[in-house]
A and B are shown apart, each in its own frame.
Chain A
Amino acid sequence: MSQLPQPAQLTVCPACREPLDPADNYCGGCGADLSAPPAEGTARARRPHPGDGGAPPEHRPGLPAQSAHQAPPGTGRRCAACRSGMIDNDGYCEHCGHAQPRERDHMEHETAGVAAVSDRGLRHHRNEDAYAVSSTALPDGGTAVAAVVCDGVSSASRPDEASAAASAGALAAIEEALGRGVPPREATHQAILLAAGQVSALAGPGHQPREHSRYQQENAPACTIVSAVITGELLTIGWVGDSRAYWVPDDRGTQPARLTEDDSWAAQMVAAGLLSEDEAYADERAHAITGWLGADAYEVEPHTAAYHPDRPGVVVVCTDGLWNYAETAEQMAAVVPADARTHPLESARRLVEYALACGGHDNVTVAVLPFPARAEGAATA
Chain B
Amino acid sequence: MSNLARPEVPRFTVDVYQNAYLPEGGREVNAIVTVSSTGGGAPAGTAPDAAVVIMVDCSGSMDYPPAKMRNARDATAAAVDALRDGVSFAVVAGTHQAREVYPGGGRLAVADATTRAQAKEALRKLSPGGGTAIGTWLRLADRLLSSSGRSIRHGILLTDGRNEHEEPQALRAALDSCAGRFSCDARGVGTDWEVKEVTGIASALLGTADIVADPAGLAADFTRMMEAAMGKEVADVALRLWTPMGAEVTFVKQVAPSMEELTSRRTEAGPRAGDYPTGAWGEESRDYHVCVRVPEAAVGQEMLAARASLVLPSPDGSAQVLAQGLIRAVWTDDLAASTTINPRVAHYTDQAELAQVIQQGLDLRKSGDMDGATAKLGRAVQLANSSGNEATARLLAKVVDVVDAATGTVRLKAKVTAEAEMTLETRSTKTVRVKK
Contacts and interface: CB of A to CB of B under 8 A. Distances in A.
Interface of A: 16-17, 82, 85, 88, 90, 92-93, 95-99, 120-126, 154-155, 211-212, 214-216, 361
A90 B326 contact: yes
Given A16-B298, A17-B300, A97 B326 contact: no
Contacts of B326: 90, 92
Nearest to B246: A96
B340 A216 contact: yes
B245 A95 contact: yes
B434 interface: yes
A170 B333 CA distance: 31
Interface string B326-352: 101011111011001111001000000
Interface residues of B, number: 35
Contact of B301 (A98, A121, A154): A98
B304 interface: yes
B332 A212 contact: no
B103 interface: no
19 contacts: A16-B298, A85-B245, A93-B244, A95-B244, A95-B245, A96-B244, A96-B303, A97-B247, A97-B294, A98-B304, A99-B304, A123-B299, A125-B300, A125-B332, A126-B302, A211-B436, A212-B435, A215-B341, A216-B343
Contacts, number: 78
Given A155-B336, A211-B436, A216-B343, A99 B301 contact: yes
A124 B332 contact: yes
Contacts of B298: 16-17
A54 B223 CA distance: 74
B174 interface: no
B245 A121 contact: no
Given A211-B436, A215-B341, A120 B300 contact: yes
A122 B24 CA distance: 13
A97 B435 contact: no
Nearest to B302: A99
B148 interface: no
Which of B19, B299, B300, B343 has the most A CB atoms < 10 Å from its CB?
Answer: B300
B336 A99 contact: no
A336 to B, nearest CB: 26
Which of A122, A125, A361 has the most B CB atoms < 10 Å from its CB?
Answer: A125
Contacts of A126: 302
Contacts of A123: 299-300, 332-333
A97 B334 contact: no
Interface string B1-40: 0000000000000000001000000000000000000000
Contacts of B219: none
A97 B303 contact: yes
Contacts of A92: 244, 303-304, 326
A88 B271 CA distance: 14
Q: When A and B form their complex, which 3 residue pairs have the shortest distance between CB atoms, in order from nearest?
A: A97-B244, A99-B302, A92-B304
A92 B35 CA distance: 22
Nearest to B346: A215
A212 B343 contact: yes
B297 interface: yes
